[in-house]
């Protein structure tokens, strides 16, 4: 039975009372233990989110150490705020401890956002920010910063096929980027729920709601970039398709997925008014991507996409998600550490973009970008060590393996037919170490899914028909 507004209010009041009466900050599990009414952890997470948005509680810490504290003015806020205490105070749009993300210079500039948005001057889209940008001459990142990030993000000391590193860490990247990008949109899925959904298809509470679809869309879009890294480039075609994958089944008008918008949009909590002339939007969208494509330095190109795809608001919705994934294109293509936005505080991320929208000043957004990239590099250092050296044999025979796998699926082979065919394939094509080729191909066949078949020359219908027969023989 769907809860009534009264029952929801009662749950919220009970949770508020528990936090108000606590002598120390409480974790979600501690709050759940104290609640005397029947409530699931997922529901509790949503109620806590409402309390925080209403400025009735604040958060301290992050991830497994996240705790909740009362904002009742008669109580003291704990002094041990560790890294993140996000408070939206009365009369201020945002107020966050930013010392770990922003430079002192950026923090001072962001103080202007403490004035409510309706009191800040109205500003419209400034096309000169794109028009006056000259690729490889204009710079957002200093050369020293770009070089430092390159040293942090480089994973191989030799040229390999585009997307090699992303493929090596594909499962970890899929979970991290899907979870964190969705989290920055307010999605309440936990990391564990995200993992279950992406790896075994199990939705939280068994429901395929908007939050579930958002994460599944991220999966498709990320796989699209990884699997097609060698063929993708920064073009309107690619960005439109990225938007289509991220927005499918989320927009009221399915025709708006992947299309430059034809209607007006507004952004909350900012005085910025996006451009609303369809033809001009289309022209600026193309101009933006033509200039981005000419930028040769990957970090400059990534940051350019990160801020300008968000700023233009070329689509009806899902613009920031498109920007977050789009800015990863140069990293995936050049086998650099990807940007998964791990641990990025949502308020800091939003404030930095709003400041850019309203002033054209990119410094706070650059602080967020650099901080986020450094965190991502730390995140994948251990992953890099665990995957070890690149197996040159796998790379050498990649195209032959795809050819063989495609033939197996097209001909509906299963069971013992598969290794027999692969052995004959090795003889015909004079492939060295045939046992190794067969074993790699067999494992890849077992892991194959419909989101990874674009490069093997089979249709989704062919794959589904073969997969049913294949699974029945296992």
- Per-residue pLDDT tens for 61-112? 777 778 888 765 343 333 333 333 333 232 223 233 334 699 999 999 999 9
Residue 187 backbone zone (phi > 0: left; psi -120 to 50: alpha; other: beta): beta
Provide the mean pLDDT of the chain. 86
Beta strands, E only, 85-125: 85-87, 95-96, 123-124
CB 352 within 8 A of CB 336: no
CB 270 within 8 A of CB 313: no
| Residue 157: Cβ-neighbour burial (10 angstroms; 0-12, 13-18, 19+) | exposed
Angle 82-87-90 from CA coordinates, rounded to 5°? 155
The reply to whether 118-387 shares the fold of 5-87 is no
Give me the percent of the chain exceeding a pLDDT of 90.
Answer: 55
Q: Which two tokens stand for residue 23?
A: 């002598």
SS3 assignment, position 96:
strand
How many secondary structure helices (H) and strands (E) does the chain include?
22, 6
Q: Which residues pair with 87 in a beta bridge?
A: 95
- Rounded CA gap, 169 and 165, in Å? 7
Least confident of 136-140, 142-146, 316-320, 412-416: 412-416
Confidence at residue 85, expressed as pLDDT on a 0 to 100 scale: 34
For the chain, which residues make up each domain, given as ranges? 5-87, 118-387, 392-472
pLDDT bracket for residue 371 (50, 70, 90): very high
Contacts of 184 (CB under 8 A, 6+ apart): 320, 324, 341, 344, 346, 349, 350
Confidence at residue 76, expressed as pLDDT on a 0 to 100 scale: 38
For the stretch 324-370, pLDDT in tens is 999 999 999 999 999 999 999 999 999 999 999 999 999 999 999 99
CB 236 within 8 A of CB 309: no
Look at the domain 118-387 and name its fold.
Fic-like fold (1.10.3290)
Confidence at residue 202, expressed as pLDDT on a 0 to 100 scale: 83
Query: What is the DSSP code (8-state) at residue 126?
Result: -
**Higher pLDDT pick, 428 / 90:** 428
CATH class of the domain comprising 5-87: mainly alpha
pLDDT bracket for residue 175 (50, 70, 90): very high
């Amino acid at each position: 039975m769907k809860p009534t507004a009264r029952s929801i209010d009662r749950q919220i009041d009970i949770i508020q009372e528990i936090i108000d009466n606590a002598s120390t900050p409480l974790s979600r599990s501690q709050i759940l233990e104290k609640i005397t009414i029947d409530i699931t952890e997922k529901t509790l997470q949503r109620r806590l989110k409402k309390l925080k948005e209403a400025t009735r509680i604040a958060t301290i810490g992050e991830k497994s150490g996240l705790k909740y504290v009362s904002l009742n003015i008669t109580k003291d806020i704990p002094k041990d705020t560790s890294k993140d205490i996000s408070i939206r105070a009365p009369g201020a749009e945002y107020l966050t401890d930013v010392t770990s993300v922003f430079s002192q210079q950026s923090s001072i500039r962001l103080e202007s956002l403490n004035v409510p948005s309706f009191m800040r001057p109205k500003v419209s889209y400034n096309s000169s920010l794109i028009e006056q940008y000259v690729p490889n001459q204009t710079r957002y990142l200093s050369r020293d910063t770009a070089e430092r990030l390159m040293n942090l993000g480089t994973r191989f000391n030799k040229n390999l096929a585009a997307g090699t590193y992303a493929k090596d860490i594909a499962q970890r990247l899929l979970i991290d980027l899907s979870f964190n990008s969705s989290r920055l949109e307010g999605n309440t899925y936990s990391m564990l729920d995200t993992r279950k959904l992406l790896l075994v298809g199990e939705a939280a509470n068994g429901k395929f709601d908007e939050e579930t679809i958002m994460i599944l869309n991220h999966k498709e879009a990320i796989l699209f970039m990884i699997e097609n890294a060698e063929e993708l480039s920064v073009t309107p075609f690619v960005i439109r398709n990225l938007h289509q994958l991220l927005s499918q089944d989320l927009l009221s008008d399915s025709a708006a997925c992947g299309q430059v918008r034809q209607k007006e949009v507004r952004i909350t909590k900012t005085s910025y008014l996006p451009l609303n002339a369809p033809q001009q939007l289309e022209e600026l969208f193309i101009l933006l991507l033509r200039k981005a494509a000419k930028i040769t330095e990957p970090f400059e190109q990534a940051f350019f996409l990160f801020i300008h795809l968000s700023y233009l608001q070329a689509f009806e919705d899902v613009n920031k998600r498109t920007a977050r994934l789009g800015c990863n294109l140069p990293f995936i293509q050049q086998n650099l550490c990807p940007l998964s936005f791990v641990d990025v505080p949502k308020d800091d991320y939003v404030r930095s973009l709003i400041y850019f929208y309203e002033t054209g000043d990119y410094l706070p957004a650059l602080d967020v970008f650099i901080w986020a990239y450094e965190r991502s590099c730390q995140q994948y250092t251990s992953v890099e060590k665990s995957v070890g050296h690149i197996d040159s044999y796998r790379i050498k025979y990649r195209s032959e393996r795809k050819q063989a796998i495609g033939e197996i699926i097209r001909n509906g082979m299963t069971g013992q037919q598969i290794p027999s065919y692969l052995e004959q394939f090795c003889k015909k094509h004079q492939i060295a170490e045939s046992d190794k080729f067969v074993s790699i191909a067999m494992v890849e066949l077992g892991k194959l899914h419909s989101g990874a078949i674009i490069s093997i020359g089979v249709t989704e219908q062919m794959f589904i028909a073969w997969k049913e027969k294949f699974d029945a023989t296992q």
